Structure 1
Amino acid sequence: MTDASSNPLLTPSALPYGLPDYREITPAHYLPAFEAAFAEHRIEIDAITRVRSMPTFENTMIPLEQSGDLLGRVARTFYTVSSADATAQIQEIEETLAPLMSAHQDAIGLDGALYWRIKTLHDQLDQLELAPEDRYLVERRYREMTHAGAGLDDAQKATLTDLNQRLSILTTTFEKNLLADTNDLAVVFDDADELDGLTAGELSAAAQNAEDRGLPGRYVITLTLFTGHPYLSTLTRRESRERLLTASRSRGSRGNENDNREVLRTIVRLRAERASLLGYDSHAAYVTSDETAGSPAAVHALLRRLAVPAARNAGREQAALQAIVDAGDAPFALDAHDWAYYTEKVRAAEYDLDRTALRPWFEAERVLHDGVFRAATALYGVTFTERPDVPAYHPDARVFELHNADGSALGLFVLDLYTRDSKRGGAWMNSIVSQSRLRGTDPIVVNNLNVPKPAAGQPTLLTLDEVTTLFHEFGHALHGLFAVVTYPHFAGTAVFRDFVEFPSQVNEMWILWPEVLTGYARHVDTDEPLPRSVVDKLHASEAFNQGFATSEYLAASWIDQAWHSLTAEQAAADLDVAAFEAAALTDIGLDNPVVPTRYSSTYFAHVFSGGYSAGYYSYIWSEVLDADTVEWFGENGGLTRENGDRFRSRLLGVGGSKDPLEAYRDFRGRDADIAPLLHRRGLDS
């Protein structure tokens, strides 16, 4: 226990924009800070519900939005570290915290007196003459509390609280198991010859990984979150590719202490029980009822519509790959670990394009400054200044200050590029401070990636996929930075889950935009620009291998839907995880063993430890809007301040303070058309 007076988490930070001073924070500070923040928040809510006069917007909604400031500050500080630098001590704190946080959230979210006050306001909305954001706040708060179970009786609320706490523990356990198994299964190679096909920089990173693990003279390849691995496209030795993919696919299902099968089965069962308690047939029905999709039926209809042409195209691609194999000296039946390698051979034959040779043109520092930042400046007028004097939570995390075109301060952007054993897999954006006029705060957002870190003195060369990820996550960051709202409830990316990926996907469009590409795609040694002929081939091959890419994504989305469409009775059965997955993929026609699902259940962090349960469909759902928006930019002059300002003010700038589809119609002038998406992915033939 630490003294509250000396706990740096309990007083506002003196650093710019309120960035927590992680130099002063130790793990011992977190739990006492959470306890103090829980107590303060409870007092703030009690002060609202004890008001004797009838509810008004001023005596209910305003103090509600002002409440929880300390808790939010402490939570964002901690969860930034628990995802990006989860030491054993931090993991232990997170396990202890999970049920405490769940119980507190339920105590507030299910508070009957608070719910009555908000419901009373909601029932008389038409008489209150509120401003649009105020009215939407009442609507959303009422909907969210109802959806969470605030209208249940006391016995039902007790059951719900127990379910939520158990689920919070299980999802934390899932993530801990996955991180441990991912680290354990990093593939160790004894000889550089086994890694033939990797670049000098990639070998350097593998050697450094081995050195860091106490294995000097050897090479360690760490695993990515998704099933495949970027190195599968270049490793010439088939047995090395097989080892890498086998390790990836076995995570969480090896029968050891990190096995996630029973954990995920219990998560599925408890989610189904909770949905039934709340009046829904399934967890998927519960989740989609408060998303833009509205129902599982709408999601399933889209996924099935896309699965048929995607599987057909993947079959054609597979035949082309098999033909390459058959023409070799020792033909064999193509397997999943061969796909990426022979895809590059087909790409080279059909488009005279070797994507794996492009890395020297994608040096990370140049991609960041002359690509990602330059596009944002051209579109929105924002400028970036690195602040090495401002400390972040880890030495690899860099801080940048942003200003608007008029010179006014905007916020801070933190970039944490490199992989490490204490960081969870994948890439993500999160907020440390969110913007709010009511609280007078400006945003601080973080982007995390998992790029292998080369040895000291070596440049960081990105793959085209990693360039895409950097632009994508920065799209989330812009959403978090640009949203200008009064109430913290609507800050940044606080929008429906199946809309949140839309701005980030749109930001990917600038990767190959001529004015942007010529700035950052320059050879690390010669400074020569990426040849125009190569750029033309990249454009020409945009739909290439989309059968595979769409199929592996849709397969994961369908597995998510299959688990979470189970009723409570169905989820109570002792389901075999592998057999359940196989049946689900057969059902949608994506059961091709050479095209594995992007995530299998035991390492599907998005849905079993993240916020995408029954919502992994969101990426393709949002891509309908994205593809339609890219078409709009193309029709209206592309990379211009006028276009950027329109997108910023009508979409990014509203945060969650407006119905997202209404905001889209305000920007586009109509609802989104699916045709551009079908064309982009080669699904329209």
Structure 2
Amino acid sequence: MSRTTLDAENPFAAPSTLPYGLPDYARIRTEHYLPAIEAGFAEHRAQVEAIASDPAEPTVENTLVALERAGRLLHRVLTAFFNQSSADSTPELDAIEETVAPQLAAHLDAIHLDARLFARLESLDAQARSGALTLEPDTAWLLHRALTRFVRAGVRLDAAAQDRLRELNAEITRLQTVFGREVLAAQNEAAVLVTDEAELDGLPDDARAAAARAAAARGHEGAWLLELQLPTGQPQLTTLRDRGVRERLFRASASRGLGGAHDSRALLLDLARLRAERAQLLGYEHHADYVAADATAGSARAVADILERLAPAAVANARAEAVELAAALQQDHPGATLEPWDWAYYAEQVRARVRSIDETALRPYLELERVLADGVFRAATALYGLTFAERHDLVGYHPDVRVFEVFDTDGSGLGLFLADYWTRDAKRGGAWMNNLVDQSTLLGEPPVVVNNLNIPKPPDGEPTLLAWDEVITLFHEFGHALHGLLSAVRYPSQSGTEVPRDFVEYPSQVNEIWAWEPSVVQAFAVHHVTGEPMPAQWVDTLLAGRQDGEGFKTTEYLAAALLDQAWYRLAPDEVPTDPEQVEPFEAAALAAAGVDFAPVPPRYRSAYFNHVFSSGYSAGYYSYIWSEVLDADTVEWFRENGGLRRENGDAFRTRLLARGGSVDPMQAFRDLRGRDPQIEPLLVRRGLTAATAP
């Protein structure tokens, strides 16, 4: 990087003047990113050098606070860039990311391997330990985390080991970017084209219209394109009656990345091997231990203990569910064997018979706009006193993005919430939350957060109707958004979701419970045409069936989590070298863990397991179930204290959400719950009470 200054007309040259510091996407062009990143690197290097070479004795202000203030240009541009490259990518943005990613890794290495900076941090720590320096609790935690970060980055290694570490970090970062791009390309390529409308029997009208729109967008007028979402299971499998089409759709999904132009197997093997080498270089047995050591789990053994404890009961439940589904299959296809492409369809048929309600009947009552306003936002108002107003004068990074101003209980502006819910070829799969501006009182910056989903876009003027799982996802991602919006910390590096990976899912999973709250359901479950509320007996049935299919859901999740752990418990020389060995490794790992139940494949197979090979969940996919222990226990706390009450929301906000990463996260949980977490509520929720005692 050679650029050290930035032209004044570049939108990143100065902080955004838009409300709440929203990036000025109306002015930002692709050509603005790279110059701003180059200038950001140069500015940050100079600022860090000034801190490291400061002749004055280390103080909180000239070291910790100075580091928090440094690099604001780089932070501004990277948050905007990585958000857009994930949600609205182009070949030009992909090329920039592939160039910048290893340079960013090298830039961070230069900071965290700087012995002078580390010595200043150690000096502050020594002063605090001796009593010569008194630190506020959030500053003490900031110092603790900074020291941990430097040590885990390799600051205590010798020069040769540090050189190798830099090489590893650069290559891992580059490969992550390539893997993510290949997964998206494979996902787009694997979409299933249907030319005979009869094969779409059972697909709801709105989903059929979305499929026609997707086909037309790719030049297939008069056909229908069943686009894929990131997980193995696809939502269309629930309603398509044609078994052949279901099989085509499932096989297209499950075979992504296994050969062809977008074969990702060599990439994932390289990533597993390089991460294993890095972990051993840093003194850990394997990457799984390296990850867990810096999380609330503490060790890979602790992770294994909970996954291995839950797996047998989950698979037993799935096998019991399979018996009933196989019987239903026999009525349509005598002699047929229950296959993965049958599961969702017959689970829905059984539910419709047992519960007298099905997914197709529910969809007209689950319109996106109503669920958002009278469900997601309504619950946030009841709990936290928040209100929302759409800002049509503010624009996002894509025309589909909506911007809402969020107001606190006293009417003051709190921040911005950006909603980007529809799928498109340029958006990576799945659902996620990003920060565009981190809340910080030190910098005087309020939060700006984004939620992304991948819901098929209906034809213009038509409503977006949701499956129940998509309603849950909407509430889940908004739980992440609340963690960012309600942050009330001093230091930007402690803002909102800046907590350990196996804690970050906890508040978002807690927020899912309000999708099941009867008063909330009754408010948002309204027919989009007639305005009639969902029949009361349907609501009761929906709530009563909350545990339906938990054997499947838990088994497919645990299979993916255990697969993640299997890849990252390997030493470098244990990682296969031949891409053809990926599938046999998967099969052996699932069998060894006891989750090799053919009708229930892993939620993600290795070749498109974006969470653990491209995103930030490597050896960390266990986080969802680990966080759910806290979540389920917290739901009990809400129930014990009257549920959806403002007093409960204020307590959850003050004791946990507002504190972000400014305290030990488990201490924040204990401050809320009054004790350590207990696993029993999780076992009851998921029907796993047969799980053996620890």
Using the size of structure 1 for normalisation, the TM-score is 0.98
**Equivalent in the alignment of 1:339:** 343
Tell me, yes or no, if the aligned pair for 1:435 and 1:442 is still in contact at 8 Å: yes
* Number of equivalent positions: 684
Tell me whether 1:447 sits opposite 2:451 in the alignment. Answer: yes
**How far off is 1:156 after superposition?**
1.2
Q: Deviations over 1:438-458 (max 9, x none)?
A: 111000000000000010111
Alpha-carbon separation, structure 1, partners of 2:122 and 2:263: 44
**Map 1:595-610 → 2, pairs under 5 A:** 595-610=600-615
Tell me whether 1:311 sits opposite 2:315 in the alignment. Answer: yes
Letter paired with 2:621: Y
Tell me, yes or no, if the aligned pair for 1:550 and 1:681 is still in contact at 8 Å: yes
| 3-state SS, counterpart of residue 193 of structure 2 | strand
Tell me whether 1:391 sits opposite 2:398 in the alignment. Answer: no
**Equivalent in the alignment of 1:205:** 210
Alpha-carbon separation, structure 2, partners of 1:532 and 1:152: 65
**How far off is 1:15 after superposition?**
1.1
Q: Deviations over 1:73-104 (max 9, x none)?
A: 11001011000001111111111111111111
Letter paired with 1:263: L
**How far off is 1:379 after superposition?**
0.4
**Equivalent in the alignment of 1:237:** 242
Q: Deviations over 1:639-670 (max 9, x none)?
A: 11100000000000000001111000000111
In structure 2, do the counterparts of structure 1 residues 322 and 125 end up closer, same or farther at CA, with 3 Å as the change threshold? same
Unaligned runs of 5+ in 2: none
Tell me, yes or no, if the aligned pair for 2:105 and 2:170 is still in contact at 8 Å: yes
**Equivalent in the alignment of 2:106:** 103
Alpha-carbon separation, structure 1, partners of 2:354 and 2:310: 25
**Equivalent in the alignment of 2:64:** 61
Letter paired with 2:9: S
**Equivalent in the alignment of 1:181:** 186
**Equivalent in the alignment of 2:488:** 484
Tell me, yes or no, if the aligned pair for 2:432 and 2:452 is still in contact at 8 Å: yes
**Equivalent in the alignment of 2:302:** 298
Tell me whether 1:17 sits opposite 2:34 in the alignment. Answer: no
**Equivalent in the alignment of 1:637:** 642
In structure 2, do the counterparts of structure 1 residues 10 and 646 end up closer, same or farther at CA, with 3 Å as the change threshold? same
Tell me, yes or no, if the aligned pair for 2:52 and 2:117 is still in contact at 8 Å: yes
| 3-state SS, counterpart of residue 376 of structure 1 | helix
Letter paired with 1:180: A
Q: Deviations over 1:86-138 (max 9, x none)?
A: 11111111111111111111111211111111122123323211111111111
Alpha-carbon separation, structure 2, partners of 1:190 and 1:573: 41
Alpha-carbon separation, structure 2, partners of 1:79 and 1:329: 48
**Map 1:457-468 → 2, pairs under 5 A:** 457-468=461-472
**How far off is 1:598 after superposition?**
0.3
| 3-state SS, counterpart of residue 208 of structure 1 | helix
**How far off is 1:573 after superposition?**
5.0
**How far off is 1:574 after superposition?**
4.3
Bigger shift: residues 344-353 or 585-594: 344-353
Tell me, yes or no, if the aligned pair for 1:233 and 1:356 is still in contact at 8 Å: no
Tell me, yes or no, if the aligned pair for 2:86 and 2:428 is still in contact at 8 Å: yes
Alpha-carbon separation, structure 2, partners of 1:572 and 1:165: 22
Bigger shift: residues 527-536 or 237-246: 527-536
Unaligned runs of 5+ in 1: none
**Equivalent in the alignment of 1:46:** 49
In structure 2, do the counterparts of structure 1 residues 327 and 215 end up closer, same or farther at CA, with 3 Å as the change threshold? closer
Letter paired with 1:177: E
Tell me, yes or no, if the aligned pair for 2:576 and 2:582 is still in contact at 8 Å: no
**Equivalent in the alignment of 2:375:** 371
**Equivalent in the alignment of 1:669:** 674
In the TM superposition, structure 1's runs of 4+ consecutive aligned residues that sit over 4 Å from their partners are: 572-575
**How far off is 1:6 after superposition?**
2.0
Alpha-carbon separation, structure 1, partners of 2:58 and 2:261: 52
**Equivalent in the alignment of 2:553:** 549
Return the match for 1:474 from 471, 478, 502: 478
Tell me whether 1:142 sits opposite 2:147 in the alignment. Answer: yes
Return the match for 1:624 from 620, 629, 651: 629
Tell me, yes or no, if the aligned pair for 2:522 and 2:539 is still in contact at 8 Å: no
Letter paired with 1:638: G
Alpha-carbon separation, structure 1, partners of 2:93 and 2:666: 39
| 3-state SS, counterpart of residue 26 of structure 2 | coil
Tell me, yes or no, if the aligned pair for 1:512 and 1:535 is still in contact at 8 Å: no
**Map 1:153-164 → 2, pairs under 5 A:** 153-164=158-169
Alpha-carbon separation, structure 2, partners of 1:667 and 1:119: 32
**Equivalent in the alignment of 1:249:** 254
**Equivalent in the alignment of 2:357:** 353
Tell me, yes or no, if the aligned pair for 1:623 and 1:677 is still in contact at 8 Å: yes
**Map 1:281-292 → 2, pairs under 5 A:** 281-292=285-296
| 3-state SS, counterpart of residue 63 of structure 1 | helix
Tell me, yes or no, if the aligned pair for 2:232 and 2:602 is still in contact at 8 Å: yes
Q: Deviations over 1:370-414 (max 9, x none)?
A: 110010001000110100101111100000001111111100000
Letter paired with 2:64: M
Bigger shift: residues 345-354 or 366-375: 345-354
**How far off is 1:545 after superposition?**
0.9
**How far off is 1:528 after superposition?**
1.4
In structure 2, do the counterparts of structure 1 residues 569 and 123 end up closer, same or farther at CA, with 3 Å as the change threshold? farther
| 3-state SS, counterpart of residue 72 of structure 1 | helix
**How far off is 1:159 after superposition?**
0.7
**Equivalent in the alignment of 2:32:** 29
Alpha-carbon separation, structure 1, partners of 2:236 and 2:474: 18
Letter paired with 1:595: V
Q: Deviations over 1:152-206 (max 9, x none)?
A: 1222111101000001111101011111111111110002111110111111100
Tell me, yes or no, if the aligned pair for 1:397 and 1:415 is still in contact at 8 Å: yes
**Equivalent in the alignment of 1:577:** 582
Return the match for 1:125 from 121, 128, 142: 128
Alpha-carbon separation, structure 2, partners of 1:545 and 1:62: 50
Alpha-carbon separation, structure 2, partners of 1:377 and 1:88: 41
Q: Deviations over 1:38-67 (max 9, x none)?
A: 010011111111111221212211111111
Alpha-carbon separation, structure 2, partners of 1:678 and 1:239: 37
**Map 1:210-225 → 2, pairs under 5 A:** 210-225=215-230
Using the size of structure 2 for normalisation, the TM-score is 0.97
**Equivalent in the alignment of 1:77:** 80
- CA RMSD after TM alignment: 1.2
**How far off is 1:247 after superposition?**
0.5
Bigger shift: residues 120-129 or 97-106: 120-129
Bigger shift: residues 94-103 or 368-377: 94-103
**Equivalent in the alignment of 2:173:** 168
Letter paired with 2:126: D
Alpha-carbon separation, structure 2, partners of 1:71 and 1:624: 37
Alpha-carbon separation, structure 2, partners of 1:235 and 1:208: 18
* Identity, % of aligned positions: 55
Letter paired with 1:38: F
